[in-house]
Amino acid sequence: MPSKNYATLNEILTQTIAWEDAIKVVNENEKLIKELDLKAYSQVLIVGCGSTYYLSLAAASLFQSQLGVIAKAYPSSELLLFPKSVYTDGKILLIAISRSGSTTETLRVVEAFKRERRGHIIVITNYSDSPLATLGDICLSINKGQEKSVAQTRSFASMFVALSAMVSCLEGNKKFDLYQHLLLASGNRIINTYKTLVEQYARNNAITQFFFLGSGSCYGLACETSLKLKEMSQTITEPFHFLEFRHGPISMVNQNTLIIGLISENASSSEMAVLKDTKNFGAKILTVGEKGTDIEFQSGLPEYARYVLYLPVLQLLAYYRAINFDKNPDEPRNITAVVEFDMIS
Ligand code: F1P
C-alpha cells in the first residue's frame, strides 16, 4: 500500500465527478455548439501539447468517424513552425485543448488563427480564468477536472468526455446525458473491480518494458496511457497502432514485456491476432475493452461514448508503478505542469 497520500491517486479515483461536470458544461453550451455548421469548414483541426496533443489524436478520429468531417490532430507547435504543411484554404474549425489554458505554443496558435481570420475556435480547458479561455468563440471549461499533480489524469479524461459529448451534440439526434448514468457508474465500477489487478502488473518487477497498442481513437489513448507510465515512473514504454507493431517493433518483445491492448469493437479479431503473435515471442498480455478482455467494461454503451473507460485503470497502472519504484507520482522528474516560454519569432 502507498505510504503517502498522493494527490494523483485521489484524482484518478474520483475522476467521474469531473466527467459529470464535462457533460454539464457541454449541455450549457448546447445551443452554441448546435449552431456550428460543420459543412462550412474545409477541415477541423484539433491541437494541444503533450497529453492534450494525444487527446487531439483520439478526438480527431472520433470527429471524422462519427461526423464525417475531415478532422486532423497536430501538436500546437506544428501550426506555429510549419503552418503551410497544416492549413488549407477555406474556413477551418480549430479546437484548441489545454488543461492549463496557459501553454505558450497553444496560446500563440490560437492568437495567430484569430488574427489571420481562418475560421472559428473552440477552446477546451480546465481553467475558466486562463488566457486561452478568453480566446474561443465557444469555451468548454471543466473546472472540476483541475489537478494538483503535474501529470494529467482526471483533467484529460474530463476534456475527453467533453469532446465525446460535443460529438453527440453535433450529431444532432442524440443527447449525451442519456449515457451519463451508465458512463459514470461503469467508470466507478471498473476502477473498483480492477485496481488490484493493475497494481499486481505494476508491481511485477520481472516486467521491464511496456507497449500500449491501440487503433482508431484508441491510438491517442494508447499514446496517453503510455506517456503516463513514462512520466510517473520513467519506465521504458511506447505506443503503437496494433498492426504497425508487427512491422519492426515486435522485435523488442521478450519474456519481460507486457503488451497492453486497447481493444476496439470493429477490429478486435485483427487486434487479438497481433497480441497472439507477441505472446508467441514470450510477452505477457493485458487486454482492455468492452467484453472478452482481461479488463471488461461491460458498459452496454455505444463505442463512441465509452472510450474514456480505457483511461482510469491504465492511469492507475502508471501510479502504482511509480509507487513500486518509490517515486513521487505527483511530481515526475524534469517536467512542470505548464510549459511557458518566450517565443523567439
Ligand atoms: C500540456 C503539457 C502537459 C504535460 C506537461 C507539460 O499542458 O504538455 O500535458 O503533462 O506537464 O504540459 P496543457 O497545455 O494541456 O496545460
Q: In sequence order, what are the beta bridge partners of 124?
A: 97, 140
pLDDT of residue 97: 98
Helix (H) or strand (E) holding 10: helix 7-13
pLDDT of residue 298: 98
The rounded Å distance from CA 337 to ligand 1 centre is 6
335 lines ligand 1 (CB under 6 A): yes
Integer Rg of the chain from CA = 19
- pLDDT band for position 159 (50/70/90)? very high
- pLDDT band for position 2 (50/70/90)? very low
Q: What is the pLDDT of residues 36-50, one digit of tens each?
A: 999 999 999 999 999
Q: How far apart are the first and last CA of the chain?
A: 49
329 has a pLDDT exceeding 50: yes
99 lines ligand 1 (CB under 6 A): yes
104 lines ligand 1 (CB under 6 A): no
Across the range 132-150, mean pLDDT stands at 97
Question: Which residue's CA is minimally distant from atom 5 of ligand 1?
Answer: 337
Q: In sequence order, what are the beta bridge partners of 92?
A: 43, 119
DSSP letter at 337? S
Measured from the CA of 51, which atom of ligand 1 is nearest? 9
In this structure, the strands spanning 236-240 and 257-262 are unpaired
pTM: 0.96
345 has a pLDDT exceeding 70: no
Question: Which residue's CA is minimally distant from atom 11 of ligand 1?
Answer: 337
Contacting residues for 35 by C-beta, under 8 A, at least 6 apart: none
Main-chain dihedrals φ then ψ at residue 286, nearest 5 degrees: -130, 115
Contact assessment for residue 32 and residue 81, using Cβ atoms and an 8 Å cutoff: no
Contacting residues for 80 by C-beta, under 8 A, at least 6 apart: 105, 108, 109, 112, 343
- pLDDT band for position 68 (50/70/90)? very high
pLDDT of residue 344: 55
Measured from the CA of 152, which atom of ligand 1 is nearest? 10
pLDDT of residue 334: 87
pLDDT of residue 174: 64
Longest Cα–Cα distance in the chain:
56
338 lines ligand 1 (CB under 6 A): yes
Measured from the CA of 337, which atom of ligand 1 is nearest? 11
Percent of the chain at pLDDT exceeding 90? 91
Across the range 92-114, mean pLDDT stands at 97
228 has a pLDDT exceeding 50: yes
pLDDT of residue 182: 96
Cell of 97: 485543448
- pLDDT band for position 231 (50/70/90)? very high
Mean pLDDT across the chain, nearest whole number? Answer: 95
59 has a pLDDT exceeding 50: yes
167 lines ligand 1 (CB under 6 A): no
pLDDT of residue 3: 55
Q: What is the pLDDT of residues 160-219, one digit of tens each?
A: 999 999 999 999 766 788 899 999 999 999 999 999 999 999 999 999 999 999 999 999
pLDDT of residue 175: 73
151 lines ligand 1 (CB under 6 A): yes
The rounded Å distance from CA 52 to ligand 1 centre is 7
Question: Which residue's CA is minimally distant from atom 10 of ligand 1?
Answer: 151
Encoded amino acid at 79, one letter: L
Collapsed DSSP state (helix, strand, coil) of residue 290: coil
